[in-house]
C-alpha cells in the first residue's frame, strides 16, 4: 500500500461558530481559533478542518454560501484568515476548508440572477422545472423535512433544494457551473490551504429525467435517488484533472449514500477522484425510515460489522476516514458510550477505537475532553434549522411533541454545536457576551482547564493515544480483523503487518467481563490502571491495546 501524509495524520474538526469567540458577540470566530492553536498543537492533532467560513446568511450555519471568495462577517476578515493560515502552518499543521458545492445560498449572486427570468444567463446554474399537474415536479423529500421543491412566483417554476429552501442545488450538468467551482477551488488552494472536505459530494450528479422516488424510507431514497448519480465520477475525475492534480493537497468526500459497494469508485488508488471518504454506516444506524428523528434501536453487533464491512470493501485498494462524531451527529459518549459515571472511561475507550482503526481519524472539537449531549427543555433553545423544520412538520402531523423533543435530545445536531468548554468561568470561557446557543450546563465539570490540570484526563489520554498511533505504523497501515464479531459485549480486533500484531479489546458495557488471551502479549495502553489479579477481567468500559510477543 502506498504511504501518504494524509493517511498518517489526524484531522481535528472545528465548528468555528462554537469554538471560541474573541470579540464578545457570542459567536465563535477566526481570531478565537488563532488564540487556541497552541492548545491544538499540544493535543497533537495535525490537520484542522474548518466547517464553512465563507460569507453566508447562516440558514444552515454556513453550509449555505452566498460568496465563496469572502469570509463570513461574523467570523472575521480575510486578513484574519491569512493570519490563521500562517499560524497553522508555522506550527507544522495543515488546514482543510469545507467545500460546499452541491448547493449555494439563495442569496448567492448566481441564484439572485437565476431567479430573475427564464432566459437569464444564470437560469441553468440551478435546477428549474414547471409544476406537474399543479404539484411539485417530483415527490422528493428534503434532508430537512418537506419537499425538495420551492415554487418561485415570479417565473412560475419550482427550483430544487435537497436541503433547506435557502440552499438551491447547483446544476453540475452546466459546464459553466463546474468552471466557476474549479475557479473558486484554485483561489483557496493558491492561498495555501491544504485541501478540502467536500460536503455531500455524493449527490452532485442528478438522475435525469428527475423522477419520483419509489420508497418511503428516506435512507433508501438517499441511496437510490440522490446519491451516486450517472455523471458522479466523470465530474470528480474532471475536478481532479482540472484542479486537484496540480497541488499536493488532500480531498475528503462526505457522502451520504456512498456504501461498501461503491466506495472504491470514489477512492480507489487509480481512480484519480478523492483521497478518502467518511464511512457513514454507523451514523445512520438509529435513523428509521422517517430519518434522524424517527429513532430506532442501535445494535452493537451491527456497529462492529460496519467497521469490518468497510475495511473489507476498501482494504489496500483505497482509503477512508474514521469518525465517531462530528457537527452533524451526537457526542460519542452519549450516543455509543456512557455519559454518566463511566463518562471518562468510555471517552478514553473511544479514543482508542478512533485511533487504532485503519483510516484517517477525524476528531471533533470537545470530544478530546469527553463533552456530552445536551438536553434543552424547550424547542426555543435549539438553533439547528433541521430540528426546527422537522419540529414544524411533526406539529403539523399532530405528532407527540414530547416524544419529538426526546428524539431531538437523542439525535439532534445541536448536541454537538453547543460552545466549546474552555474553563469553569461564565459561558465556559467561550464568550464574554451572550452565546448564540446556550452552553451545556455541565461545563463546570467538563472543560479544558480542568482537563489540563488532571494528569488522568481524557485530554491527556488523547494526547498519549495520538503519539501512540504515530509511533506504531501497524495501527495506520496494518490489516484489520474482528476477532469476536458475534460477542454481545466485547469489541475485539487485530491490527497486523509484517512487524507486529496488535490486539485491541473493548468492553462496551457496565458489566465486568472475563476473557482470556490465547497468546502471550504485553499491554501497551489502556484506560484503567492494571491491577494484579484483574488481568483477565475487563472492567466497565475498559479498553486495552496489547502487542503479541513473538
Residue 169 is a binding residue for ligand TEU (CB under 6 A) = no
Instruction: Write down the H helix ranges in 115-217.
Output: 175-190
Q: How many residues bind Ca ion (CB under 5 A)?
A: 5
Residue from 46, 169, 194, 254 carrying the catalytic annotation: 254
Segment 29-58, which members bind Ca ion (CB under 5 A)? 29
- Quick count: other Cβ atoms within 10 Å of Cβ 540? 18
Q: How far is the CB of 165 from ligand TEU (least distance, A)?
A: 13
Q: Does 448 bind ligand TEU (CB under 6 A)?
A: no
Interface with Ca ion (CB under 5 A), residue from 4, 8, 23, 233: 23
Out of Ca ion, ligand TEU, none, which partner does residue 29 contact, by CB within 5 to 8 A per kind?
Ca ion
Instruction: Reply yes or no: is the peptide bond before residue 329 cis, omega within 30 of 0.
Output: no
d(C-alpha 165, C-alpha 145), whole Å: 10
Is residue 229 involved in binding ligand TEU (CB under 6 A)? no
Which of 278/443 has CB closer to ligand TEU? 278
> Does 276 engage in binding with ligand TEU (CB under 6 A)?
no
Residue closer to Ca ion by CB (options 21, 368) is: 21
Closer to ligand TEU at the Cβ: 291 or 429?
291
For residue 25, the partner it binds in ligand TEU, Ca ion, none, with Cβ less than 5 to 8 A by kind, is Ca ion
**Nearest-approach distance from CB 57 to Ca ion, in angstroms:** 17
Q: Which stretch binds Ca ion (CB under 5 A): 1-9, 16-24, 336-344, 352-360?
A: 16-24
Going by the DSSP 8-state scheme, the letter that residue 227 receives in this structure is S
For residue 328, state whether it binds ligand TEU (rule: CB under 6 A).
Answer: yes
Shortest approach of ligand TEU to residue 199 CB, angstroms? 5
Contact in structure between 262 and 310 (CB atoms under 8 Å): no
Output Rg (C-alpha) for the chain, integer angstroms: 23
Of positions 6, 15, 54, 63, contacts ligand TEU by CB under 6 A: 63
The CA-based dihedral angle spanning residues 75, 79, 84, 86, taken in that order and rounded to the nearest 10 degrees: 170
Measured from the CB atom, is 199 or 344 closer to ligand TEU? 199
Examine the residue annotation and report whether 254 is marked as an active-site residue of this protein: yes
User: 267 or 446: whose CB is closer to ligand TEU?
Assistant: 267
Candidates 142, 145, 177, 176; CA nearest to 159 is 142
User: Is residue 158 a contact partner of residue 137, using CB atoms and an 8 Å limit?
Assistant: yes
Containing 159, the helix (H) or strand (E) segment is strand 157-160
Nearest CB to ligand TEU, comparing residues 58 and 472: 58
402 labelled catalytic: no
Using CA atoms in the order 134, 140, 144, 150, what is the torsion angle rounded to 10 degrees?
-30
375 by Cβ neighbours in 10 Å (0-12 / 13-18 / 19+) ranks as: middle
Annotated active-site residue in 29, 46, 199, 328: 199
CA dist 290 and 397 (Å) reads 13
- Interface residue with ligand TEU among 46, 199, 259, 414 (CB under 6 A) is 199
- Asked if residue 384 binds Ca ion (CB under 5 A), the reply is no
Residue 278 touching ligand TEU (CB under 6 A) = no
Q: How far is the CB of 23 from Ca ion (least distance, A)?
A: 4
Tell me phi and psi for residue 49, to 5 degrees: -100, 120
The entry of ligand TEU, Ca ion, none that residue 21 binds, CB within 5 to 8 Å by partner kind: Ca ion
Q: Residue 535: what are its φ and ψ, rounded to 5°?
A: -55, -35
Q: Are 439 and 419 in contact (CB under 8 A)?
A: yes
Tell me how far apart the alpha carbons of residues 361 and 351 are, in angstroms, rounded to a whole number: 10
Q: How far apart (Å, rounded) are the C-alpha atoms in residues 10 and 469?
A: 10
Please choose which of ligand TEU, Ca ion, none residue 293 contacts, taking the beta carbon within 5 to 8 angstroms, the exact cut-off set by kind: none
Residue 49's binding partner among ligand TEU, Ca ion, none (Cβ under 5 to 8 angstroms by kind) is none
- 16, 137, 229, 256: which one contacts ligand TEU (CB under 6 A)? 256
Question: Measured from the CB of residue 292, what is the shortest distance to ligand TEU in angstroms?
Answer: 5
Q: What is the DSSP letter of 238?
A: H
Q: Which three cell numbers stand for residue 352?
A: 482508542
> Pick from ligand TEU, Ca ion, none: which does 6 bind, CB < 5 to 8 A by kind?
none
Q: Is 21 in the site for Ca ion (CB under 5 A)?
A: yes
Interface with ligand TEU (CB under 6 A), residue total: 13
Q: Are strands 360-364 and 320-323 parallel, antiparallel or unpaired?
A: parallel
Quickly tell me which residue has 486495552 as its cell: 544
DSSP letter assigned to residue 224: I
Query: Which position among 25, 83, 112, 152 is part of the footprint of Ca ion (CB under 5 A)?
Result: 25
Instruction: State the nearest-atom distance from the C-beta of 35 to Ca ion, in Å.
Output: 11
Least distance CB 427 / Ca ion (angstroms) = 12
User: From the list 60, 106, 311, 542, which residue makes contact with ligand TEU (rule: CB under 6 A)?
Assistant: 60
Q: Is 140 in the site for ligand TEU (CB under 6 A)?
A: no
Please state the closest distance from residue 78 (CB atom) to Ca ion, in A. 16
> Which residues between 90 and 109 bind ligand TEU (CB under 6 A)?
100
Measured between alpha carbons, how far is residue 234 from residues 173, 267, 400, 533 in Å? 11, 14, 46, 60
Distance of CA 3 to the CA centre of its chain: 24
Interface with ligand TEU, residue 292, by CB under 6 A: yes
Among residues 6, 75, 143, 310, the one that binds ligand TEU under rule CB under 6 A: 143
Give counts: helices (H), strands (E), the chain: 17, 22
Cα separations (Å) of 526 from 12, 188, 300, 332, 544? 22, 41, 21, 18, 4
Q: What is the DSSP letter of 370?
A: T
* Residue ranges in 394-433 that form contacts with ligand TEU under rule CB under 6 A: none
Q: Would you list the DSSP string of 298-366?
A: --HHHHHHHHHHHHHHHTTT--EEEES-BTTB--HHHHTS-SSTTHHHHHHHHHHHHTTSSSEEEEETT
Give the binding site for Ca ion (CB under 5 A).
Answer: 21, 23, 25, 27, 29
Which residues are at the interface with ligand TEU (CB under 6 A)?
A: 60, 63, 100, 143, 163, 199-200, 254, 256, 292, 327-328, 386
| Catalytic positions | 199, 254
Amino acid at each position: 500500500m502506498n504511504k501518504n501524509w494524509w493517511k498518517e495524520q489526524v484531522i481535528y474538526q472545528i465548528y468555528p461558530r462554537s469554538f471560541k469567540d474573541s470579540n464578545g458577540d457570542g459567536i465563535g470566530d477566526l481570531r478565537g481559533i488563532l488564540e487556541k492553536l497552541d492548545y491544538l498543537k499540544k493535543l497533537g492533532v495535525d490537520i484542522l478542518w474548518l466547517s464553512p467560513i465563507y460569507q453566508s446568511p447562516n440558514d444552515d450555519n454556513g453550509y449555505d454560501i452566498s460568496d465563496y471568495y469572502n469570509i463570513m462577517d461574523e467570523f472575521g476578515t480575510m486578513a484574519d484568515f491569512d493570519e490563521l493560515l500562517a499560524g497553522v502552518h508555522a506550527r507544522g499543521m495543515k488546514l482543510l476548508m469545507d467545500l460546499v458545492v452541491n448547493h449555494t445560498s439563495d442569496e448567492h449572486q448566481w441564484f439572485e440572477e437565476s431567479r430573475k427570468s427564464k432566459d437569464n444567463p444564470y437560469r441553468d446554474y440551478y435546477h428549474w422545472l414547471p409544476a406537474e399537474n399543479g404539484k411539485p415536479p417530483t415527490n422528493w423529500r428534503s434532508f430537512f423535512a418537506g419537499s425538495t421543491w420551492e415554487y418561485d412566483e415570479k417565473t412560475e417554476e419550482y427550483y430544487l433544494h435537497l436541503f433547506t429552501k435557502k440552499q438551491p442545488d447547483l446544476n453540475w450538468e452546466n459546464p459553466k457551473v463546474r468552471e466557476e467551482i474549479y475557479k473558486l477551488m484554485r483561489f483557496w488552494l493558491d492561498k495555501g490551504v491544504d485541501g478540502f472536505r467536500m460536503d455531500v459530494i455524493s449527490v452532485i450528479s442528478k438522475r435525469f429525467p428527475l423522477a419520483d422516488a419509489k420508497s418511503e424510507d428516506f435512507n433508501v431514497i438517499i441511496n437510490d435517488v440522490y446519491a451516486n448519480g450517472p455523471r458522479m465520477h466523470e465530474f470528480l475525475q474532471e475536478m481532479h484533472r482540472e484542479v486537484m492534480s496540480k497541488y499536493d493537497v488532500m480531498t475528503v468526500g462526505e457522502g451520504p449514500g456512498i456504501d461498501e459497494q461503491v466506495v472504491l469508485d470514489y477512492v480507489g488508488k487509480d481512480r484519480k477522484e478523492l483521497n478518502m471518504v467518511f464511512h457513514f454506516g454507523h451514523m445512520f444506524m438509529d435513523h428509521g425510515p422517517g430519518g434522524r428523528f424517527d429513532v430506532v434501536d442501535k445494535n452493537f453487533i451491527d456497529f462492529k460489522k460496519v467497521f469490518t464491512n468497510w475495511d473489507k470493501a476498501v482494504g489496500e485498494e483505497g482509503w477512508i476516514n474514521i469518525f465517531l462524531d462530528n457537527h452533524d451527529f451526537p457526542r460519542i459518549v452519549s450516543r455509543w458510550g456512557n455519559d454518566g459515571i463511566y463518562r471518562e472511561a468510555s471517552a478514553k475507550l473511544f479514543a482508542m477505537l478512533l485511533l487504532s482503526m485503519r483510516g484517517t481519524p477525524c476528531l471533533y472539537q470537545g470530544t478530546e475532553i469527553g463533552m456530552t449531549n445536551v438536553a434543552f427543555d424547550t424547542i426555543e433553545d435549539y438553533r439547528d434549522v433541521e430540528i426546527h423544520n422537522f419540529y414544524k412538520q411533526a406539529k403539523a402531523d399532530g405528532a407527540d411533541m414530547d416524544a419529538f423533543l426526546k428524539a431531538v435530545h437523542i439525535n439532534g445536531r445541536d448536541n454537538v454545536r453547543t460552545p466549546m468548554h474552555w474553563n469553569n468561568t461564565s459561558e465556559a470561557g467561550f464568550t464574554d457576551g451572550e452565546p448564540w446557543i446556550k452552553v451545556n450546563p455541565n461545563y463546570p465539570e467538563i472543560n479544558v482547564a480542568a482537563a489540563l490540570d488532571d494528569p488522568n484526563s481524557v485530554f491527556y489520554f488523547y494526547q498519549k493515544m495520538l503519539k501512540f498511533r504515530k509511533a506504531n505504523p501497524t495501527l495506520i497501515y496494518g490489516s484489520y480483523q474482528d476477532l469476536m464479531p458475534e460477542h454481545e459485549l466485547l469489541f475485539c480486533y487485530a491490527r497486523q503487518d509484517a512487524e507486529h500484531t496488535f490486539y485491541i479489546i473493548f468492553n462496551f458495557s457496565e458489566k465486568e467481563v472475563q476473557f482470556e488471551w490465547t497468546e502471550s502479549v504485553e499491554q501497551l495502553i489502556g484506560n484503567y490502571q492494571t491491577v494484579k489479579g484483574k488481568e483477565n477481567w475487563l472492567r466497565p468500559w475498559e479498553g486495552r491495546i496489547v502487542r503479541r510477543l513473538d
